[in-house]
Structure 1
Amino acid sequence: MEFRYLRYLVAVADKQSFTRAAEALGMAQPPLSQQIRKFEQEVGTQLFHRLTRSVELTEAGLSLYQDAKGILAQTEQAMQKARRIARGQLGSLRLGFAGSTVLHPSVLQLIHDFRQAWPDVSLHPIENSMPNLVRDLVNEELDAAILRLPCSSSSALAHHLIEEEEMLIALPPHHPLAGSGAIPIEALAQDPFILFPRELGPGLHDAITQRCQRAGFSPRLGSQSPQVISTVGMVQAGFGVAIIPRSVSELHPHGVSYHPIAAEPLTTRISLATRLHPRQKSLQHLIGLLPGQLRITIMQNRMAM
């Protein structure tokens, strides 16, 4: 059965006239009458009673008309849905998050703005370590991921800059330097350092240790924090000192103090990582919300996972 037969059937039934239906369909009346007869032959029964000045549906025609209306309505809905997906107004995005990025105001604002602009696009957040997020993005198990640079990367990825963020020193209650402003990092050479496991974010882990080494010492590694965010709680408990992203300092456990790093500040960048040529229109909308749409394509500099 040809789909257009259903449209012809509905038009004739609605107008109760071949002539008026032909006008509505933008075709001549004789071809329309011929198409309806072919349809009746295919169905194997008469669909219309031809009256002197009008037509009316037979019992079989009425049944087919009701089903045809539903089919046409569902088809139109399917077409509208496809058009909205093509325009990025509908669909879903699998968005990964490195745990250390979820508190940053620019990340929260980006997600808020996207949901306001495209409320019918579902976001499916997935939190994981940075190496796993990169792997899943390359393997197309994620559509995009919010990462903290430096991170293990791939020549198959592009990084769209969200924000550059300062790293701060976090000191436990009653630390001798707690009343200071900016602190030289070498002043912490004798303190135990709390670090997250390197596999969570090799690039950031190495950036912290290398900054200490440039100051003339290797950090005395104490207890590990299971996540970057939980580091602050361990600082409060007195396990040691830590270097954390400024956004994590929004957590205010009692007695913990935060201090800029003197002389040579340490910074990190937060990026929206995508494959090189994102095809989804909704993902292109998300990228378009970034200030200046800055892009840093990582083509080389492959760090060990």
Structure 2
Amino acid sequence: MEIRHFRYFLAVARQRNFTRAAEQLGIAPPTLSRQIQDMEQALGTRLFLRQQREVSLTEAGAALVMEAEATVRQFEFAQRNAQRAGRGEIGHIELGYVASAVYSGLLQKQVQAFCRQYPDVSLSVREKPMAALPGLVADGRFDIGYIRSPMTLPEGLEAIALDADGFVLALPAQSWLARLGDISPEHLRGETFILPEQISGTLQVAAQGGYAPTLGPQPGGLVAVLALVSLGQGVAVVPESVIGHISLPNVLYRPIKGGDASSRLSLIHRRFEQAPAVVRYLEQIKREYRRVP
């Protein structure tokens, strides 16, 4: 038997008439009658007592009604879920991010917008070291990742360029630099730079000052970087978005006069992504931003 047999059976059981049931189903009454006969033959029992104008359920037919309804409901539920999954309306996304994506507010805005449109797609959102994220996306452990560009990506990954973010200088409160009215790249020539995960800002500031920077430790995330600054171990060029979000004792934030160093957040993904829910997320982002290599 096939699912259509259960649908035909239920139509007759509800209408108690083959002609009316056939009209409801959009088939000819003789065709419906043959389908019910095939069903009865397969089950080895009669399901209906045929009378001149109406039919009634046999004991076996009455016992089958509830199970037939449950079977049809489950089939339709499975069918709808498969169709929704194919459209990306349900599914799961593994999302990794670097902390500055949260400090900027961009991650929250984009995730919330997606969840409003696709409330039945579940997202697992986890912070990861930036150096690890491209590999995690490339090997399938994460679906997408928010990083800071520029960054060399493994083959098979692409990046969607998102919002640009300038840099500021984080310095110990007791530093001589704190007494200056303006801090330029040249003033930082003799300083030790604590390195965040994205070092492009440090290198850009040093290049603008015309010197090779003295590189200190690279402890990991931005909080770890600023902790070393608070201990007086050096200065750090960090994303402007940290201002107002990370406040540590003994740490000041100052603009770098004449410095035009900047980076941008980017969303990385596999080039030939097939998972419908992930594709929907990427489509949402691409409607707002242009794709870059």
How does the TM-score come out when normalised to structure 1?
Answer: 0.86
Which residue does 2:147 correspond to in 1?
Answer: 147
List aligned pairs for 1:1-305, cutoff 5 A.
1-180=1-180, 182-196=182-196, 201=197, 204-205=198-199, 208-209=202-203, 211-212=205-206, 215-249=209-243, 250-290=245-285, 292-297=288-293
Q: Which runs of 5+ in 2 are unaligned?
A: none
Bigger mean CA offset, 161-170 vs 223-232: 223-232
Change (3 A) 1:230 1:131: closer
CA distance in 2 between partners of 1:137 and 1:242 (Å): 29
Question: Partner amino acid for 2:59?
Answer: E
SS of the aligned residue for 2:95 comes to strand
CA distance in 2 between partners of 1:105 and 1:226 (Å): 21
Change (3 A) 1:206 1:267: closer
SS of the aligned residue for 1:36 comes to helix
Q: Does the CA-based 8 Å contact 2:183-2:254 persist in structure 1?
A: yes
Question: Partner amino acid for 1:279?
Answer: Q
**CA RMSD across the alignment:** 2.3
CA distance in 2 between partners of 1:27 and 1:150 (Å): 64
Bigger mean CA offset, 1-10 vs 24-33: 1-10
CA shift digits 1:217-241 (9 cap, x unpaired)? 4433444423123322332232321
Q: Which runs of 5+ in 1 are unaligned?
A: 298-305
Change (3 A) 1:90 1:56: same
Question: Partner amino acid for 1:242?
Answer: A
Which residue does 1:301 correspond to in 2?
Answer: none
CA distance in 1 between partners of 2:230 and 2:132 (Å): 29
> How far 1:180 moved relative to its partner?
4.2
Q: Does the CA-based 8 Å contact 1:49-1:57 persist in structure 2?
A: yes
Q: Does the CA-based 8 Å contact 2:3-2:72 persist in structure 1?
A: no
Q: Does the CA-based 8 Å contact 1:186-1:215 persist in structure 2?
A: yes
CA distance in 2 between partners of 1:273 and 1:258 (Å): 30
Q: Which runs of 4+ in 1 moved over 6 A?
A: none
SS of the aligned residue for 1:183 comes to coil
Q: Does the CA-based 8 Å contact 2:193-2:202 persist in structure 1?
A: no
Q: Does the CA-based 8 Å contact 1:165-1:246 persist in structure 2?
A: yes
> How far 1:212 moved relative to its partner?
2.2
> How far 1:213 moved relative to its partner?
5.2
